Amino acid sequence: MTVTAASATSSSRHEPSPAVGALVNERLVLWYFVASLTYLFVAMLAGLLFSFQFLQSYPFTGIELLSPGRWRMVHTNGVAYGFIANAFLGALHWAVPRLTLRPVLGVKLSWFIFVAWQAVVVATVVGLLTGHAQAVEWGETPIFVDPLALAGLVLVAINFLPPIFQTTGPMYVTLWYFISAFVWTILVYAMGNYIPQFFVGGAASGAIIGLFIHDLVGLFVTPLGWGLMYYFVPIILKKPILSHGLSLVGFWGLAFFYPLNGIHHFLYSPIPMFLQYGAVIATIAVELVVTTVILNFFGTLRGRGDALRTVMPIRWFYVGMVFYFTTCLQCAFQVTLTFQRIIHFTDWVVGHSHLVMFGVFGFWILGMMNHLLPRLLRAEGWYRPSWNSWHFWLTGIGMLVMFFDLVIAGLIQGFQWRDLAPWEASIRASTPFWFLRTLTGIAIIAGQMMFLYNILMTAIHRRAVPAPSVPRTTPAEGLPVTA
């Protein structure tokens, strides 16, 4: 029927053929996931620590290397470059060889990239804590780390594009997203870290920083995330994606409108007003495009709603998609200048960004790990599936409550500021919300600890299964794609 069906579910065999399995460097995928979870914990603890400052209960007051401001930057950069980037790279090592039936360019190159990327993240954390942050939001990676990160991103593209470009015939939607993401991430990182620092200052640099902030989410995290959803959902549900046409609309709509959004991060700033209007309109256009993608995926789920209860990865994926629709709908409203008057600079935006980065992409990553980790650990299944249920509910409820908590706090802050209440009044009014925010953070961390413990127990208690052969460098032709 559609090309999507052919590549996703054509095989009636459910066991991976050894040859296809050999294309994937499963050890590397596991290492990436371990790295990702490590940074998740560091970043979450950084966030929790930072949240105590808001309650006047910071345990390490006055110690320079434990200064809350610096740890805030460790939190955001640890999430973006440590947790999300590592998880996506691991998932790419799983998905690209399977989709293209070809290995990535080089095994040694792949391991080099892994080590280099960890060096980038560790150097970033150390650099931030020792006072070398760069004044670019979400790009605080120190200036001396940027060339290494950029080189790493170029190597990633060099590693993954060859198998994709060698495929013949119709290209599955996931690969459109992947190709673009590899190009975009390099351009976006270079733009954001170099131009506002060395070449363009003032309000114009604000425009570029706005582009960077949004492109990081929209042209790096989003395409990789959705690409992986287009890959995993049909395979797990054993159903093709509903509509190829909607996939086209979704991809090209994102590609065109998303990059034009950036200035919406600095509305009512001295950036020229006509560009701000343009950014608002482009943002609302993206929401319409996003709706088509959501319809596509929920249409795919139709008839398989039971999977939300029984298949954990699907639950993570689809709850994440609901949050994705929520954040984009919220975005379409909050981007209007009317809303911006009140909510800009408040905790409303912090709630939004947490729901996006963690509620959407974090959830998708946790879903992929749920699906892949037993296989990567050569275990028959999870040690205690019920712990994964605890993981889901603690995380899900924690995230949802955090979101509403911060959104409401933001409204209160914004209205108090507009009404010229003394600044201290808005701090007092925010304190109960900040307290609840800390509690939700604890709940989320507790959920991740259950997941981590489950992973450890699964690894310890697995039975030895012979490993597949080392990935070959010659392509394996004519093999059906299976999970």
Binders of another protein among 256-315, rule CB under 8 A? 256, 259-260, 262-263, 266, 268-272, 275, 278-279
Between 9 and 247, CB nearer to another protein: 247
Q: With CB under 8 A as the contact rule, which of the stretches 10-18, 37-45, 205-213, 401-409 interacts with another protein?
A: 205-213
Phi-psi region of 465 (alpha: psi -120 to 50; beta: other; left: phi over 0): beta
- Give the SS3 label for residue 239: coil
Q: With CB under 8 A as the contact rule, which of the stretches 111-119, 229-237, 417-425, 474-482 interacts with another protein?
A: 417-425
Integer Cα distance of 287 and 7 in angstroms: 29
For the chain, the farthest-separated pair of C-alpha atoms sits apart, in whole angstroms, at 70
- Using rule CB under 8 A, residue 61 touches another protein: yes
Closest CA to 194 of 175, 209, 182: 209
Q: Which of 115, 248, 465, 470 binds another protein (CB under 8 A)?
A: 248
What H or E segment, with its residue span, contains residue 22?
helix 18-23
Instruction: Give least dist CB 351 to another protein, A.
Output: 12
- Using rule CB under 8 A, residue 417 touches another protein: yes
| Interactions with another protein, residue window 334-363 (CB under 8 A) | 340-342, 344-347, 349-350
Between 132 and 384, CB nearer to another protein: 132
| Interactions with another protein, residue window 212-231 (CB under 8 A) | 215, 219
- Using rule CB under 8 A, residue 58 touches another protein: yes
Between 115 and 203, CB nearer to another protein: 203
Q: Which of 1, 12, 62, 474 binds another protein (CB under 8 A)?
A: 62
Closest CA to 52 of 40, 68, 70: 68
Instruction: Give least dist CB 171 to another protein, A.
Output: 6
Integer Cα distance of 311 and 318 in angstroms: 11
Instruction: Give least dist CB 43 to another protein, A.
Output: 15
How far is residue 351 from each of residues 78, 164, 443, measured CA to CA in Å? 18, 37, 16
Binding-residue total with another protein (CB under 8 A): 90
Instruction: Give least dist CB 264 to another protein, A.
Output: 10
Asked if residues 82 and 140 have their Cβ atoms less than 8 Å apart, the reply is: no
DSSP string, 36-99: HHHHHHHHHHHHHHHHHHTTT--TTTT-GGG-HHHHHHHHHHIIIIIIIHHHHHHHHHHHHHHH
- Using rule CB under 8 A, residue 414 touches another protein: yes
Q: Which of 18, 144, 147, 170 binds another protein (CB under 8 A)?
A: 170
Instruction: Give least dist CB 157 to another protein, A.
Output: 10
- Using rule CB under 8 A, residue 131 touches another protein: yes
Integer Cα distance of 197 and 148 in angstroms: 17
Phi-psi region of 415 (alpha: psi -120 to 50; beta: other; left: phi over 0): alpha
| Interactions with another protein, residue window 70-89 (CB under 8 A) | 70, 72-73
Instruction: Give least dist CB 326 to another protein, A.
Output: 21
Q: Which of 19, 34, 109, 191 binds another protein (CB under 8 A)?
A: 191
Q: Which of 171, 285, 308, 408 binds another protein (CB under 8 A)?
A: 171
DSSP string, 89-112: HHHHHHHHHHHHTS--S-HHHHHH
